[in-house]
A and B are shown apart, each in its own frame.
Chain A
């Protein structure tokens, strides 16, 4: 079994290597090869899972040290894997959803000339993400962390000929750097505090370190999580990341990579529990982001950006739950898994719609598509019901628990967090209903493609010539993954909740405490249902009963701000870019005047000294001999002197 863990990472890595280095020979078979690699690692994951199920709850952890990576003195960084229930959950999610999305991409990318490279990047992502969740120490986790960042950068910018895609990739990369810096400093602090990076020793010793230290480490880890998971204040990259191909948005920017922050917080639970201030910061970030993302999601007309806002918001829920401590860890991960199903399904549905609509992304140009794309409609609809928390579907079980746990925090804080979570649920129902109605219901607001010679945003299948779109159902390779994910969206939450199965599965790793909500479980559920109905009704009133205008109305100040992502870029520009420019300018000034002055002065004096000393080298052998004689005399005198003193 131990060897299988290594293979789990190696198979997609080998796939990536083969696809990226293999050259044109693999152009034809490349997509299938990549999909095969993903499927093999899923199969390995299932085997490991079955093996794990065969053992008792406490013996399920598997630790493997592959080799010593950097042994320098007391500094030990090993390449080692740690497979427990938490990483197992991620392995299955990553490889399972990953395989489905590979399959989907075969159809979606069928007409792209560079699809071999695309699948290579996808495999690279899988390998890095698996390394991230399987690492047994923070340094190796960091390798995976950077690896997924790289894959994300490459895939966002996959259509690099589009300036917007190239810029979006750069933006994602830069914003992630901020978070990664937090990660690297946190790791350094860990080493100075605990003398190691391995999860085991760090987490068991966490309660012995001072609270100040722990708070610093935890806040830095939170910064890292914010970067990777697009949480406020490092959220700005996620919307733009939708420039990447839709399967990428589904896999990386919805189901897996962006949830790495939740994994990090959950995995480092002991650190956060020792630092209550940091935990407060975590729940604040979560609560703010879940509202932020939801509000942005309401205003976007671009279907993928609306879904991106939704992703941000849902991860906000998870971060909030993870920040609550043992009360919330299990529900954070459970929501993460169910979200992985329904959000990936929604993105694939969106991709399918775009596929049939000449790559149109503006929902104001959709409408009435349910007749033309029945499979997409049904699967998207099930995902929709799941995300808004329709009773009995996945989202209902996981989100409801988080809201309950938020109230259980107690005191004013509990009311604020619970209120925010509840409000978020209402907004979620609103914007998702809006997406659903604008896309699949109402009259057909289609429009011919702007001009045929303009390079198409997504070189997907079908007639790309101008003219009216002819919506059609997507090929089988695309619909099958959508169907599978829809099934997951419907049943996963229920399965997890039967007998508290998921709770019992994860509890040995994360621990669990039952929260006692001041409201009681039933009240919370009732309230959630109420706001759900409210949100759906409001959306219906606005978009279902009235025709949707083909151009967006001016809207209120809040709407306008939300369309601009609540002014995140303006804020970044004014505060960070301008501030950075000023800082650079003053540093350059200092460098010129102060540093260069010292440097040039030193250089000039060395040069002058050199010129003077050079004159001693006059070419006359007699003066050389004299200097040698003098030198010998001094040498002897000095030796004698040393004895004398």
Chain B
């Protein structure tokens, strides 16, 4: 009964004079603006970009938005580097903003990676030379007017008027800002807010394809519905964890898990320390994150969304979302739930094995290059999970390295997909890619480099990453997982190499696609992708060391 009384104290006790005065005494939260500067800069640029949409004439918007995004992202990256140089990645790591956002090695490493990925992705967003000009105006990959019904009069009018959806730039910037917070979130509420901040712009971006609009909108709706579902589960999990520990702060929950806290909020006395809440809540939060990384059995949105979304968006989403979501997953498992590792490790083993196998096996029969890459991304999520499960500093650094390596390969691969076109836009059916190596040897060779990196062939970044992850997993005692991983890699190598064979050793078809000549924007993006892929493959040690230095979470 005393519990019940305590629970309802708020309602039963008459507010005293002191309690009424209380709001005046709440100290203003202490915010370390400088340490949050990467996120703040990007958010600021996003807000400015919205103003640009509102006040600048249409013709000036494209260039302004591009410049603003590039400057904003570059400035954000510079801020990350400055923070790392000041030692926030190592010695001075701590939780900023009243414990809501961590500023530590993994956070800075992942934020830097996300910003670089976004910088490259924004080049693809701005590409306007691939599609033939509509009514004398250059067009990009995005719908002329997103709100117009596909095939309707309004759409035709918008196309005729030469409109473009330059709102994609602020959307991208908002998504990036959310992604920057996501792996750094140090309490569950910040985690949730960040998740929504980056998810909502992505849902919209997915719906904006210029060609095949219905497919694009279908993808966006699916992504939104399933995303909302997983967000709900995540939120429910957060509530349960709060019920278990009486706090949403990571370190607070971790303390309760390890039994370090003796005092408890009397209002939550009935539930605090109830392991059922912890286990169920933890599993639900995990599920929310596994959805975002695209791990089986929460992966089913991936192929449909990757296929339907405009390809530059797919590239950005595949690369950056994975980095952000794995960052959050790492922090959750390493900071909040390490005391529980004997409970979650076997479950995660199962998830990793299932993910690797599903990704690799289903990809074998795919005929669409974007879906193929989607399944490949599922398989890679499985490989990365193997490193996550290692629960060791090596595990963290190998995952960080893998994420960086994988992000650039993915960006590059999707950028190449935008180049191969026929009358209907991008020619994504694999049969159209036959003989591409004869007609466009350079493009085919570049794509082959990316495929080899996906397959994990030595001298590409994929090999170094896979090696690091499997090594960490094996050292962590997960040898069977590594065996499954290697077998799945072998299966996966089949379909990567099959595409290479198709490109180089098949007769080209008469009505095959042509390779569009891109502007320097896409060329730069692809060039960076190749350079990073080879650099990380030939000389991985420097970056492995960097990831190794960044491998310690703050608590």
CB atoms of B229 and A636 under 8 A apart = no
| B residues 53-74 touching A (CB-CB < 8 Å) | none
Instruction: Mark each residue of chain A from 616 to 639: 1 if its CB lies under 8 Å from any CB of chain B, else 0.
Output: 110101011101101110111011
Among A606, A609, A610, A616, residue most surrounded by chain B Cβ atoms (within 10 Å): A610
Q: A619-B304, A628-B297 are contacts. A639–B364 as well, Cβ < 8 Å?
A: no
CB atoms of B225 and A632 under 8 A apart = no
Tell me, in angstroms, the Cα distance from A628 to B365 when the chains sit together. 23
| B residues 310-348 touching A (CB-CB < 8 Å) | 342-344, 346-347
CB atoms of A635 and B351 under 8 A apart = yes
CB atoms of A638 and B276 under 8 A apart = no
Chain A nearest CB from B239 CB (Å) reads 15
CB atoms of B364 and A607 under 8 A apart = yes
- Chain A contributes a number of interface residues (CB within 8 A of B) equal to 28
CB atoms of B347 and A627 under 8 A apart = no
Identify A624's interface contact among B233, B301, B342, B351, CB under 8 A: B301
Instruction: Give the dominant DSSP class at A's interface.
Output: helix
Residues of B within 8 A of A634 (CB): 297
Q: A611-B365, A643-B275, A643-B279 are contacts. A628–B230 as well, Cβ < 8 Å?
A: yes
Tell me, in angstroms, the Cα distance from A634 to B295 when the chains sit together. 14
CB atoms of B283 and A639 under 8 A apart = yes
Tell me, in angstroms, the Cα distance from A632 to B363 when the chains sit together. 24
CB atoms of B279 and A636 under 8 A apart = yes
Is A613 an interface residue, CB under 8 A from the partner?
yes
Chain B nearest CB from A55 CB (Å) reads 42
CB atoms of B303 and A610 under 8 A apart = no
Q: A610-B365, A625-B225, A639-B343 are contacts. A630–B297 as well, Cβ < 8 Å?
A: yes
Tell me, in angstroms, the Cα distance from A405 to B236 when the chains sit together. 93
| B residues 199-232 touching A (CB-CB < 8 Å) | 221-222, 225-226, 229-230
Tell me, in angstroms, the Cα distance from A635 to B351 when the chains sit together. 9
CB atoms of A613 and B291 under 8 A apart = no
CB atoms of B364 and A606 under 8 A apart = yes
Identify B347's interface contact among A606, A616, A630, A638, CB under 8 A: A638
Q: A619-B304, A628-B291, A628-B298 are contacts. A610–B361 as well, Cβ < 8 Å?
A: yes
CB atoms of B361 and A636 under 8 A apart = no
Identify A636's interface contact among B225, B283, B300, B365, CB under 8 A: B283
Chain A nearest CB from B116 CB (Å) reads 30
Is B286 an interface residue, CB under 8 A from the partner?
yes
Chain A nearest CB from B540 CB (Å) reads 14
CB atoms of A627 and B283 under 8 A apart = no
CB atoms of B303 and A639 under 8 A apart = no
Tell me, in angstroms, the Cα distance from A628 to B290 when the chains sit together. 10
CB atoms of B346 and A638 under 8 A apart = yes
Residues of A within 8 A of B347 (CB): 635, 638-639, 642
Chain B nearest CB from A451 CB (Å) reads 47
CB atoms of B346 and A642 under 8 A apart = yes
Residues of A within 8 A of B286 (CB): 635
Is B282 an interface residue, CB under 8 A from the partner?
yes
Tell me, in angstroms, the Cα distance from A609 to B487 when the chains sit together. 15
Tell me, in angstroms, the Cα distance from A515 to B351 when the chains sit together. 76
Is B133 an interface residue, CB under 8 A from the partner?
no
Is B98 an interface residue, CB under 8 A from the partner?
no
Is B474 an interface residue, CB under 8 A from the partner?
no
| B residues 269-297 touching A (CB-CB < 8 Å) | 275-276, 279-280, 282-284, 286-287, 291, 296-297
Q: A613-B361, A624-B222 are contacts. A631–B346 as well, Cβ < 8 Å?
A: no
Is A28 an interface residue, CB under 8 A from the partner?
no
Q: A638-B346, A638-B347, A640-B276 are contacts. A621–B225 as well, Cβ < 8 Å?
A: yes
CB atoms of A628 and B343 under 8 A apart = no
Is B362 an interface residue, CB under 8 A from the partner?
yes
Q: A621-B221, A621-B225 are contacts. A635–B287 as well, Cβ < 8 Å?
A: yes
Is A603 an interface residue, CB under 8 A from the partner?
yes
Is B350 an interface residue, CB under 8 A from the partner?
yes
Chain A nearest CB from B490 CB (Å) reads 9
CB atoms of B491 and A606 under 8 A apart = yes
CB atoms of B226 and A625 under 8 A apart = yes
CB atoms of A632 and B362 under 8 A apart = no
Identify B287's interface contact among A616, A624, A631, CB under 8 A: A631
Is A546 an interface residue, CB under 8 A from the partner?
no
Is A614 an interface residue, CB under 8 A from the partner?
yes
Chain A nearest CB from B264 CB (Å) reads 21
Is B358 an interface residue, CB under 8 A from the partner?
yes
Q: A617-B303, A635-B286, A635-B287 are contacts. A643–B343 as well, Cβ < 8 Å?
A: yes
Chain A nearest CB from B388 CB (Å) reads 15
CB atoms of B364 and A617 under 8 A apart = no
Is B494 an interface residue, CB under 8 A from the partner?
yes
CB atoms of B346 and A617 under 8 A apart = no
Q: A632-B284, A635-B287 are contacts. A640–B358 as well, Cβ < 8 Å?
A: no
Chain B nearest CB from A613 CB (Å) reads 5
Residues of A within 8 A of B276 (CB): 640
Tell me, in angstroms, the Cα distance from A139 to B352 when the chains sit together. 42
CB atoms of A617 and B343 under 8 A apart = no
Tell me, in angstroms, the Cα distance from A642 to B297 when the chains sit together. 19
Tell me, in angstroms, the Cα distance from A643 to B339 when the chains sit together. 13
Identify B222's interface contact among A621, A635, A639, A642, CB under 8 A: A621
Instruction: Mark each residue of chain B from 399 to 443: 1 if its CB lies under 8 Å from any CB of chain A, else 0.
Output: 000000000000000000000000000000000000000000000
Tell me, in angstroms, the Cα distance from A94 to B387 when the chains sit together. 55
CB-nearest residue of chain A to B350: A638
Instruction: Mark each residue of chain A from 159 to 201: 1 if its CB lies under 8 Å from any CB of chain B, else 0.
Output: 0000000000000000000000000000000000000000000
Tell me, in angstroms, the Cα distance from A168 to B286 when the chains sit together. 68
Tell me, in angstroms, the Cα distance from A634 to B221 when the chains sit together. 26
Residues of A within 8 A of B280 (CB): 636, 639-640
CB atoms of B494 and A603 under 8 A apart = yes
Residues of B within 8 A of A632 (CB): 233, 283-284, 287, 298
Residues of B within 8 A of A624 (CB): 222, 226, 300-301
Instruction: Mark each residue of chain A from 28 to 51: 1 if its CB lies under 8 Å from any CB of chain B, else 0.
Output: 000000000000000000000000
Among B283, B301, B491, B494, residue most surrounded by chain A Cβ atoms (within 10 Å): B283
CB-nearest residue of chain B to A630: B297
Chain B nearest CB from A600 CB (Å) reads 12
Residues of A within 8 A of B365 (CB): 607, 610-611, 614
Residues of A within 8 A of B225 (CB): 621, 625
Chain A nearest CB from B258 CB (Å) reads 16
CB-nearest residue of chain A to B223: A621
Tell me, in angstroms, the Cα distance from A446 to B140 when the chains sit together. 84
Among A606, A607, A627, A630, residue most surrounded by chain B Cβ atoms (within 10 Å): A606
Among A628, A630, A634, residue most surrounded by chain B Cβ atoms (within 10 Å): A628
Chain A nearest CB from B244 CB (Å) reads 13
CB-nearest residue of chain A to B304: A619
Residues of B within 8 A of A631 (CB): 287, 296-298
| A residues 420-472 touching B (CB-CB < 8 Å) | none
CB-nearest residue of chain A to B282: A639
Tell me, in angstroms, the Cα distance from A603 to B497 when the chains sit together. 14
CB-nearest residue of chain B to A609: B361
Identify B362's interface contact among A617, A621, A638, A639, CB under 8 A: A617
Chain B nearest CB from A371 CB (Å) reads 65
Identify A610's interface contact among B346, B351, B364, CB under 8 A: B364
Chain A nearest CB from B461 CB (Å) reads 20
Residues of A within 8 A of B298 (CB): 628, 631-632
Tell me, in angstroms, the Cα distance from A66 to B258 when the chains sit together. 54
Residues of A within 8 A of B284 (CB): 632, 636
| 11 pairs from A and B in contact (CB 8 Å cutoff) | A611-B365, A616-B300, A617-B362, A621-B226, A624-B301, A627-B300, A632-B283, A632-B298, A636-B284, A638-B346, A643-B343
Q: Name A residues whose Cβ lies closer than 8 Å to a Cβ of B.
A: 603, 606-607, 609-611, 613-614, 616-617, 619, 621, 623-625, 627-628, 630-632, 634-636, 638-640, 642-643
Known: A624-B222, A625-B229. 14 other contacts (CB 8 A): A606-B361, A607-B364, A613-B358, A614-B365, A617-B303, A621-B222, A624-B300, A625-B225, A628-B230, A635-B286, A635-B347, A640-B276, A640-B279, A642-B346
